[in-house]
Amino acid sequence: MKSIIGKLLRQRYHIVQELGRSSFSTTYLAEDKDLPPTTYCVVKIIQFEHSNANLNPQSEQWESLQKYFVAEAVKLKRLGKHPQIPQLLDYFEENWQFYLVQEFIDGENVEQIVEKGLLSENETIQLLQDVLTILDFVHQQGVIHQDIQPSNLIRRRQDNKMCLIDFSGVKQISLQVNAQSEDSTTQIIGKLGYVPPEQQGGKPNFTSDIYALGKTAIYALSSKSPHRVNLQKLELDNITINLQEDETQHTLTKISPRLTNILNKMVKQNYLERYQSAVEVLTELEREENVVYLPPPFLVSPPHEDFESVPQISRSRFKKRKIILWILLIIPFIAALITFILGIYKNRYRGFAEYTNTNYQITIKYPKSWAIRQLEDPITGEVVMFSSPKENESDIFQERIFITVENLLDDIDNLDEYAEILTDRISSKSGYDINVFPQERIRLSNQIAKEIVYSRKIDGIEIRQAEIFTIDNDQAYIVTYMAERSKYYKFLKTARKTIRSLEIN
């Protein structure tokens, strides 16, 4: 395909420079002349050969391609509603070519970022969380990206958020045309090293994107093509990796066994052994370790003392004195430690207020900026609700946390039995897409609880909901966190902080 730099398309889009080229398309940076000066956009031309004699404007194949192109454009328009996916600004057909005009993302892709230096563990986790949140939205639209790789993830300059570009749908158009040619060869969407086995076999699924993202994270940690990295080696020495024989060893970002295990599961060859959804990976990444390691009371052995031989009664006195001395030494240490821990706990809930309900004997801390509403509904068992402030005029659903207390049935003896009943109750409601994590246990202030996460619609709005529940004295205490699907993880940290402060007296 000849370069079109300098040309004006549709009397509007002035082509400035070429950004990239593949067997599927050529991408250009363009200036939109209908908008204020230096307003840039991206023009993508779908690439295919005209060698097929049946391919002409009057053919059935061309008409079929036009319909497919419009359908894919509509899909991209829908996906572009996500703030981290480029918006589709325009699409058109001109001189036997299909054109897509998309928002220009100003930033660096992961490939360019890694060239300057490997990502740290925290930076890699942030990358994973950013992209998994996008993938959750994409998969909810029934779309599989199929080409997640470092060059298709751009860190936007204005807010440092990762953006996902270059969806596979338009590539399918090129494949459909070229497949008609007798000398055509099979082409697989995706880059070598990032494509899982089932996608190579032409049967991609949602876990295929999780596999590719895992491989991208490995690249970000090592700067090496994923098929050269032995990830299992990380569990042994956590510092170096074995490459091909003709290459020397290269330093790899040191990462924890926890992240190693997560990446290992993301890139399993058998898709059934991987995480089955983006939400599962996000939940695993955000799971907190509530373990506190305290130092031993003595960092060195007590000084050795030699005493003259004395009667047994004197030795006994000396022993008592030594014990009293050590107790006196320990008390300030313990007091300082308690003060330190209390200080951390107090600062942890800075900006939070405390709510107490004497009828139900519960206390919980909630953000001061959130509104509080007493419910105490005898029918539903709802006690109180906290809701987040409105972010802007377009914010149509405020995130909320509410507490429900209900009496247990006589035949329920433990938390696992109640979990089954609650899961069945949610599953029985039509239209709920349930994602249950039965092994997830959460520590509340003075109780052990469990969690169920699921999705549903309220007035056409996609909602993600988490039910955290525990039982005490023949009653079930349920704390529910609700948020728009796209904002669920934005407020999850605050919600968990609130939920974990629940105390049942």
Domains in the chain with CATH codes: 8-286 (1.10.510.10), 294-347 (no CATH), 352-504 (3.40.1000.10)
Which listed residue (32, 136, 147, 166) is catalytic?
147
What tens digit of pLDDT does each residue of 257-272 get?
889 999 999 999 999 9
- CA 67, 69, 73 angle in degrees (round to 5)? 115
CA distance to 18, 134, 281, per residue, from 82 (Å): 26, 8, 20
In the predicted model, is pLDDT for residue 53 greater than 60? no
Q: Residue 301: pLDDT band by 50, 70, 90 thresholds?
A: very low
Residue 34 falls in the annotated catalytic set: no
Secondary structure letter of residue 251 according to DSSP: B
- Percent above pLDDT 70 for the chain: 77
Secondary structure percentages of the chain, helix, strand, coil, to 5: 35, 25, 40
Question: 280 versus 251: which is more confidently predicted?
Answer: 280
What tens digit of pLDDT does each residue of 10-30 get?
889 999 999 888 777 889 999
**Region 122-146 average pLDDT:** 92
pTM comes to 0.59
334-366 as b/e: b if 16+ CB within 10 A: eeeeeeeeeeeeeeeeeebeebebeebebbbbb
